[in-house]
């Protein structure tokens, strides 16, 4: 299968956690590269694996050796070939960091872009990492690692060891010294953080945090303590491409839903019999919907729920069984002096397909050709003056020179359906129907909202008849709600009228109470004065009137 599959993105089985005989801790016996690679290919085919992450501790040597001695190359990506199958290879380095969480080391996997050379990965990233050995800070370089190995083996002071005394040693002896060093070192957290932020390769790395108690993010502990989000945010601030290694269903759901982080799993194989058998749970395969490229893998960062699954079966089997076109083939045919088809085989994706092209590039022609193989859609095409079929063949189907042979392959069917357009061939593909909507027809439907709604309902109720009764039930409930609302509105109007009358009465009452208060105030004024004075005043007033 090609790097860029003509069908587009399809589900493939990946295992990005395969150790080699370069790992300091392995049980591959015999530790022979020829045997290792042959078993690797055989087991990968057996488990239907398409992408392999060659993963060793602190080093890229295993990946480099396989690529240089056993692999082929296409578009800068190495692959192993077994018969007609291709097994694409990714470089992965497993690191142990010091004092990262709760005073313990944390295992981190770095997946590198396979288009980046092994030498560049070493020089521009790995060798910039630092570790401490007996109070001395060293780089993750082969020279320093060999000195550490010899220091441990012979119990010597590392300051006394010169690399010159190691260079003449046999290669196998050097590998033993390196393995001794790999067993005891831990990369300094600060140097890893700096490399992830500053390295020129930072955009060509995906960081995978191990989500298990022994050497990774113990999910339950860090979530309960409230530190998990802080740990993840710290890594995301350093490097945006972060994934989690875990196969626990409940953890996968939480990492995706809460932290939008994709989850992977692998075999973590250290011996031949465990190659590509998922670690801990033999059903936890990693499925990724993408091309076997670094760009394809990066899509899981942006679509963690849709692009990657950890499960036994191909995720395409999780969806309802539906018929779909698997491929279309056109035979070389000259329709007219101005129109000619060359032979073409087009494999099609089983999910959404977008046909992209400029004006006149054949988008409508391709759709019309496919739709002409089905009776219902052919009726629409034949009546549409703007259809490709009408323009190419007109009303006549007698001229043999205008014939165009089409072959359709339906997913799950063994035989192809053949039809010759522009001839007396009136056969159609039976067994299922398609919904064909030509461009101008779609414009007409969308322009009328009522027609669009009616058509959507028609399609929905044809596929899901039970939804029709649900709609009727909802309509009845809606009418009841409308009736209740109308009743409540009438009551509100009535209450408003009553309140209005009450307000008028209250105003009259307030006016009468004011007048009564004024009269009482006047009476009170007279009561407070001496009665003789009041009589004198009255007598005086009478006298004035008599005069």
User: What are the domain boundaries of the chain?
Assistant: 11-140+185-318, 325-430
Which ranges of the chain have pLDDT less than 50?
A: 396-401
Q: Name, in order, each residue with C-beta under 8 angstroms of 7's C-beta and a sequence gap of 6 or more.
A: 347, 348, 349
Distances (CA, A) of 76 to 44, 291, 512: 22, 14, 101
Q: For residue 224, what pLDDT is reported?
A: 57
- How confident is the model over 200-243, as pLDDT tens digits? 998 999 999 886 655 555 555 555 555 566 666 666 666 788 88
User: What SS3 string covers 392-448?
Assistant: HHCCCCCCHHHCEEEEEEECCCCCEEEEEECCCCCCCCCCCCCCCCCHHHHHHHHHC
Q: For residue 399, what pLDDT is reported?
A: 47
User: What SS3 string covers 456-513?
Assistant: HHHHHHHHCCHHHHHHHHHHHHHHHHHHHHHHHHHHHHHHHHHHHHHHHHHHHHHHHH
Checking phi first, is residue 155 left (phi over 0); if not, alpha (psi -120 to 50) or beta?
left
Q: Name, in order, each residue with C-beta under 8 angstroms of 130's C-beta and a sequence gap of 6 or more.
A: 137, 138, 139, 140, 187, 188, 191
| Cα separation, 209 vs 106, whole angstroms | 8
Q: For residue 380, what pLDDT is reported?
A: 81
Q: For residue 543, what pLDDT is reported?
A: 62
Cβ 272 vs Cβ 20: under 8 Å: no
Which three-class secondary structure state does DSSP give residue 94? strand
Burial (Cβ within 10 Å: 0-12, 13-18, ≥19) of residue 232: buried
Q: What are phi and psi of 427, to 5 degrees?
A: -80, 150
User: What pTM was estimated for this model as a whole?
Assistant: 0.75
**Max CA pair span of the chain:** 155
Q: For residue 528, what pLDDT is reported?
A: 58
Q: For residue 218, what pLDDT is reported?
A: 57
Termini Cα distance of the chain: 137
Which three-class secondary structure state does DSSP give residue 172? helix
- Domain 11-140+185-318: CATH superfamily is Metal-dependent hydrolases (3.20.20.140)
| Cα separation, 309 vs 262, whole angstroms | 9
Q: For residue 450, what pLDDT is reported?
A: 80
| Closest listed residue to residue 369, CA positions, set 349, 350, 400, 391 | 391
Q: For residue 397, what pLDDT is reported?
A: 45
Element (H, E) at 53: strand 51-57
Q: For residue 472, what pLDDT is reported?
A: 85
CA geometry: angle at 425 spanning 331 and 418, to 5°? 45
| Cα separation, 85 vs 52, whole angstroms | 13
């Amino acid at each position: 299968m090609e790097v860029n599959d003509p069908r587009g993105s399809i589900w493939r089985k990946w295992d990005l956690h395969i150790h080699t005989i370069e790992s300091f801790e392995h049980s591959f016996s015999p530790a022979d590269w020829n045997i290792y690679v042959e078993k690797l290919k055989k087991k990968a085919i057996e488990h239907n694996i398409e992408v392999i992450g060659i993963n060793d501790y602190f080093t890229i040597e295993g990946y480099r050796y396989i690529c240089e001695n056993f692999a082929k190359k296409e578009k800068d990506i190495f692959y192993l070939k077994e018969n007609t199958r291709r097994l694409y290879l990714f470089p992965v380095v497993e690191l142990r960091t010091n004092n990262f969480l709760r005073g313990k080391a944390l295992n981190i996997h770095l997946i590198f872009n396979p288009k980046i050379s092994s030498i560049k990965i070493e020089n521009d990233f790995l060798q910039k990492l630092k570790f401490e050995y007996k109070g001395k800070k060293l780089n993750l370089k082969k020279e320093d690692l060999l000195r550490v190995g010899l220091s441990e083996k012979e119990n010597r002071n590392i300051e006394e060891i010169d690399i010159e005394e190691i260079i003449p040693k046999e290669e196998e002896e050097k590998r033993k010294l390196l393995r001794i060093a790999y067993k005891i070192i831990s990369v300094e957290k600060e140097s890893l953080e700096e490399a992830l932020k500053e390295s020129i390769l930072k955009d060509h790395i995906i960081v995978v945090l191990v989500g298990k108690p022994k050497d990774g993010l113990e999910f339950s502990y860090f979530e309960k303590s409230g530190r998990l989000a802080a740990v993840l945010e710290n890594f995301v601030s350093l490097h945006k491409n972060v994934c989690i290694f875990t196969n626990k269903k409940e953890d996968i759901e939480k990492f995706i839903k809460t932290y939008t982080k994709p989850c992977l799993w692998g075999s973590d194989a250290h011996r031949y019999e465990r190659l590509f058998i998922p670690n801990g749970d033999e059903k936890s395969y990693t499925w990724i919907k993408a091309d076997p490229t670094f760009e394809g893998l990066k899509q899981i960062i942006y679509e963690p729920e849709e692009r990657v699954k950890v499960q036994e079966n191909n995720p395409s089997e999780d969806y309802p069984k539906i018929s779909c076109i698997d491929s279309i083939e056109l035979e070389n045919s000259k329709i007219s002096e101005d129109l000619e088809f060359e032979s073409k085989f087009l494999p099609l994706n089983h999910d959404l397909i977008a046909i992209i092209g400029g004006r006149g590039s054949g988008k409508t022609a391709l759709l019309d050709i496919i739709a002409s193989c089905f009776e219902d859609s052919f009726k629409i095409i034949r009546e549409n003056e703007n259809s490709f079929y009408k323009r190419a063949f007109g009303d006549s189907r007698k001229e043999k020179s205008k014939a165009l042979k089409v072959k359709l392959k339906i997913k799950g069917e063994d035989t192809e359906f053949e039809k010759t357009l522009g001839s007396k061939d009136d056969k159609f593909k039976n067994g299922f129907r398609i919904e064909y909507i030509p461009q101008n027809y779609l414009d007409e439907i969308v322009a009328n909202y009522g027609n669009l709604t009616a058509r959507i309902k028609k399609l929905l109720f044809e596929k899901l008849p039970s939804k029709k009764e649900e709609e009727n039930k909802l309509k009845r409930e809606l009418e009841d709600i409308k009736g209740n609302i109308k009743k409540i509105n009438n009551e509100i109007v009535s209450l408003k009228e009553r309140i209005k009358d009450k307000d008028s009465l209250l105003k009259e009452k307030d006016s009468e109470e004011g007048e009564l208060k004024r009269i009482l105030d006047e009476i009170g004024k007279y009561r407070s004065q001496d009665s003789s004075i009041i009589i004198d005043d009255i007598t005086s007033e009478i006298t004035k009137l008599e005069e």
